[in-house]
A and B are shown apart, each in its own frame.
Chain A
Amino acid sequence: MTALPFPARPASVLAQFSEIRAQLQPRAQRAVGMVRAQWLFRSCLMGWGVSAHGHVRVNNQGSMELGQKLTFMGGMLPTSITCHPDARLTLGSHCHFNYGVSLEVWDSVLIGARCMFASFVRISDRDGQRTAPIIIEDDVWVAHGAILMPGVRLGARSVVAAGSIVTQDVPPDSLAMGNPARNMSLDLVAREPGS
């Protein structure tokens, strides 16, 4: 039996290594993220499986309640979550937060399950003039750079387009886009991207 030529063996070994790494890396990152979340959210009531893949600035002086399996992504800027005294923040389970999200609570913010928040989304229930609670129902997707004004209620399964400023309530199953945001039914929005 002839031995393999010298360069062949390291290459196959390297390929195996990269395959193993591709399998194990997400799990390892998730484990590290869960440990980091345990430390970052130590002042909050938290369900299991919360993971923070980057830095999250948490300032909790009120009451924060986190659901199960939340994901906070890391990136260019840290996500910041601020809960002022006597304020109440509730996050549903299976939510995703990209980097740079700023969530500031003075009165009450309620976020449903399976929501997605893209990078640089700003949610604050006080804008200098008034303070009013924000309610976000289940399965809402808020795209990059959107701003939610106080007193807004986002209906279930609705989508907020990138860069929109939402000043009024959004009914369920609708797309809010523009500044100020206008609502349209998702059934009518059938445009493929780029067409």
Chain B
Amino acid sequence: MDLSLPLTQELDTLVSRLKLRRCRMVGALPTVLGRVWIHGEGEVCVGTRVVLDGRIAPIELHAQRGGRIVLEDEVTIEWGTSIEAQACVTVGARSRLGAWCKVMDNQYHPLRGDRHERPSSVPLVIEEGVRVGSRVILLPGAHLQKGASVAPGTVVSRRVPAGAAVGGWPARMIRQEVAV
């Protein structure tokens, strides 16, 4: 770690580390503004230069027993976003999650039958360089490939190919990456 940082920045990093004390692993130079609510018995791993902005509403990171949330390097998450992992949620490097997003890898209740038993969960992957707008809901089975972008208010439960833009609910393709 670079020790020639200004004192205020070092203090901010220290406070951010204090807020991320429930994480299993924290990379260098985290920035946490406002509140982060990390709970559950699973593990949360955070990469380097992660920015969590919880000034307007808290950010929830909920890894349940046996669950795992991985935020890779330089991920930015805005306020009100809630990530819930029953199995595994991965957010790739340099991606950005907007405000009030919901990311979950389990539906928690089956559509039919006894509503209190829990269905099996599907690992959710966000690859690197993905831009997710505000109020987006990522349901189990969502797989955002490299460089995809999701318009605000979209609900995604499938694979989004690399470089594509999707929007709407039900989600449809807005723009596909032009082959180079």
Interface residues of B in 132-177 (CB under 8 A from A): 135, 137, 139-141, 153, 155, 157, 168-170
Q: Check B111 against A159 for contact (C-beta < 8 Å).
A: yes
Q: Check B111 against A162 for contact (C-beta < 8 Å).
A: no
Q: Check B169 against A164 for contact (C-beta < 8 Å).
A: yes
Encode A52-84 as 1/0 by CB contact (under 8 A) with B. Answer: 000000000000000000000001110000000
Distance A162 CA – B155 CA, assembled complex (angstroms): 8
Complex interface: chain B residues within 8 A of A194 (CB):
122, 140-141, 157
Distance A193 CA – B157 CA, assembled complex (angstroms): 8
Interface presence of A32 (CB below 8 A): no
Q: Check A144 against B122 for contact (C-beta < 8 Å).
A: no
Complex interface: chain B residues within 8 A of A178 (CB):
169-170
Q: How many interface contacts (CB-CB < 8 Å) are there between A and B?
A: 62
Encode B108-125 as 1/0 by CB contact (under 8 A) with A. Answer: 010110010001101000
B120 CB, min distance to chain A CBs, angstroms: 8
B154 CB, min distance to chain A CBs, angstroms: 8
Q: Check B141 against A195 for contact (C-beta < 8 Å).
A: yes
Q: Check A193 against B107 for contact (C-beta < 8 Å).
A: yes
Complex interface: chain A residues within 8 A of B120 (CB):
193
Q: Check A76 against B169 for contact (C-beta < 8 Å).
A: no
Complex interface: chain A residues within 8 A of B140 (CB):
193-194
Contact-size category for B: 20 to 34
Q: Check B102 against A76 for contact (C-beta < 8 Å).
A: no
Interface residues of A in 69-110 (CB under 8 A from B): 75-77
Interface presence of A186 (CB below 8 A): yes
Q: Check B155 against A116 for contact (C-beta < 8 Å).
A: no
Partner of B109 from the list A77, A116, A120 (CB cut-off 8 Å) is: A116
Interface presence of B98 (CB below 8 A): no
- 16 A–B contacts, CB within 8 A, in A order: A76-B37, A76-B60, A119-B82, A120-B102, A139-B115, A141-B115, A144-B137, A145-B102, A162-B155, A163-B135, A175-B111, A177-B169, A178-B169, A193-B107, A193-B119, A194-B141
Contacts A120-B100, A141-B115, A179-B168 given; 8 further ones with Cβ under 8 A? A75-B60, A76-B60, A77-B80, A116-B109, A163-B155, A177-B169, A177-B170, A193-B119
Report the 7 A-B pairs with minimum CB-CB distance, sorted nearest first: A194-B141, A194-B122, A163-B155, A193-B140, A179-B169, A163-B137, A162-B137
